[in-house]
Amino acid sequence: MKSNELKWALSILVIVLLAYVLPYTLLTDIMKWYGSFLVWIVLALITIIINYFLTKDWGK
């Protein structure tokens, strides 16, 4: 695995951990259900973008 791929993979790992930790720590006091869903949607979009950059050069 190249260092560039390792950097992207570690960033995805951090995003997955944030998706689990943020709703139970920083968003605990928010009573609306869409607070967590907004965070999960934003983190999912960031993960999709990272996956694009990670896999765009695999065919070469």
Could you tell me the pTM of the whole model?
Answer: 0.74
Total domain count, the chain: 1
Quick one: pLDDT band at residue 35, thresholds 50, 70, 90? Answer: low
Residue 51 lies in a domain: yes
Distance (Å, whole) CA 9 – CA 16: 11
Residue 60 lies in a domain: no
Whole-angstrom CA distances from 32 to 11, 40, 43 are: 28, 14, 18
Residue 38 lies in a domain: yes
Residue 8 lies in a domain: yes
pLDDT per residue as tens digits for the range 14-31? 999 988 888 778 777 777
Distance (Å, whole) CA 37 – CA 35: 6
Distance (Å, whole) CA 22 – CA 18: 6
Residue 45 lies in a domain: yes
22 is in which domain, residue-wise? Answer: 3-55
Tokens of 31: 């009573």
